[in-house]
Structure 1
Amino acid sequence: MSTDENRSTAFIERLGREVRRRRQAGGMTVQTLADRAGLSRRMLTQIEQGTANPSLVTVDKIAHALGVDFAALSAPSSTEPLQVSEPTEVWRNDAGSRAVLHAAGSRRGGPELWEWTLQPGDRYNAEPDPSGTEELILVTAGILVLTADQQAVTLTPGMSARLASDRTYSYAAPTNRTTFIRVVHPTT
């Protein structure tokens, strides 16, 4: 198993443990949390057992149903003033596009530092984040087409943008392999 696969497996297992811990601490049944998150009971059970690889949107739905943010479920917890984080592959598709969470703030609503890679011709369609959420994006290679509210902008290496991500939006790599850094600042 490769290092990336080990990290992805560790992420899925940690996510499952954290979802179960928070659900039980909140006195919720699996069915109650599944209903609040808009998921099937079976899917939530598989996530808690670490046997499902949920989408970013699914993890976000569970986080909101638990009253926390994405980072609270996905990043290892620490109260240390300085913490070195291991990169965690959170999403990958069959084309080889992927999203890696590098670090997340320790407080709810803290920033999240992501590295994304989109293969040529690939696109990621995102669901709206909670009201007030913003992203800062810096393209490091390739061409990124960022679309929100039916407005598309093309970013080349070195260009950056601010996106109000509380609406439907997408990332696309029309021609080349594209990499970009994404800092998400969730609503508090």
Structure 2
Amino acid sequence: MEPIHKKVGRNLQAIRKSRGLSLDNVAELTGVSKAMLGQIERGDSNPTISVLWRIVSGLGISFTTLIEETETEVTVVSPDDLEPFHEAEGAYRVYPLFSYNLRTKFESYMVMMDPGCDHGSEAHNEGVEEYIFVHQGELELWREDESYTVPAGSSVHFSANRPHRYVNPGKETTKFYTIIFYADAAARG
């Protein structure tokens, strides 16, 4: 299986070239340096989730567009077969389950957070919504200064167009599944 950072690099370069953009253009759109973008495209760098969100927000694409593979009629996904994205020194792990496509207008992930982990996310584009289903542990969701506690077995939905944070306030690993829906894409689609 191809390492995830190699897929990201290959797909980023393909998207950039298909739009006729230079690395300078992409750097200006995303706020990510030209040098970092070049390293990502060559597969020399394994970018953080925050850097990837800046890229996808700047280019107006879904997160999983950077890691998608050819779609099949039936897809079985096992986290054991996936390479996660890591942040917070490995305390926050994101496993991409299903990539965005034009038909569904969403992408989905499994997220594992170690106890005490606090992960911030920048605001997503207008019209992006998140649906989170907590499977294990407890999730504290922050949207600016508002906090919502979501225990195992519960779910939360929110508009992701404002900065938000995910916190594991407990003593066990928090595991949740998230669906990111691109409403604007649905309206255009």
Cα distance change on mapping 1:127 and 1:67 into 2, 3 Å: closer
Contact persistence 2:131–2:178 (CA under 8 A): yes
Superposition TM-score, scaled by structure 1 size: 0.86
Contact persistence 1:69–1:109 (CA under 8 A): no
Q: Amino acid of the residue matched to residue 24 of structure 2?
A: Q
Cα shift readout 1:66-100 (whole Å, capped 9, x = no counterpart): 3422122222133x333345534123432433111
Query: Among 69, 75, 95, which residue is 1:83 paired with?
Result: 75
User: What is the Cα deviation at residue 167 of structure 1?
Assistant: 0.5
Cα distance change on mapping 1:60 and 1:94 into 2, 3 Å: closer
Query: Among 108, 113, 123, which residue is 1:113 paired with?
Result: 108
Report the RMSD for the aligned CA atoms in angstroms: 2.0
Cα shift readout 1:5-39 (whole Å, capped 9, x = no counterpart): xx6x7110011011111212222111111111111
Structure 1, unpaired ranges of 5+: 1-6
Q: Note if 1:129 corresponds to 2:136.
A: no
Structure 2, unpaired ranges of 5+: none
Cα distance change on mapping 1:83 and 1:186 into 2, 3 Å: same
- Corresponding pairs, count: 180
Aligned sequence identity (%): 24
Query: Among 29, 50, 53, which residue is 1:57 paired with?
Result: 50
